[in-house]
Amino acid sequence: MSKQCEICGKKPMVGNHVSHAHNLNKRRFNPNLQRVRAVHNGQVKKIMVCTNCIKSGFVTKP
């Protein structure tokens, strides 16, 4: 299962862990996804949605 919001399409971003000595190591910033029962395309489904979409009201719960 992909780590992507089914409403806004938010995906993981890449960046660096930065140590005190400024050593750089690659890391991922994953979106905060929650599995929610919601009305999607007229049907009640379980979808993966980021918390930003839930707080903004883009998800209508049945």
Residues 34-56: pLDDT tens digits? 999 999 888 999 999 999 999 99
Domain extent for 51: 13-56
Query: Is residue 62, in this structure, part of any structural domain at all?
Result: no
At 1, is the pLDDT very low, low, confident or very high (cuts 50, 70, 90)? low
Mean pLDDT over each residue of the chain, to the nearest integer? 93
Integer Cα distance of 43 and 38 in angstroms: 8
**Measured CA distances, 35 to 25, 39, 56 (Å):** 30, 13, 16
- How many domains does the chain contain in total? 1
Looking at the chain, the whole-number percentage of residues with pLDDT higher than 70 is: 98
Query: Is residue 41, in this structure, part of any structural domain at all?
Result: yes
Query: Is residue 35, in this structure, part of any structural domain at all?
Result: yes
pTM, whole model, 2 decimals? Answer: 0.78
Query: Is residue 30, in this structure, part of any structural domain at all?
Result: yes
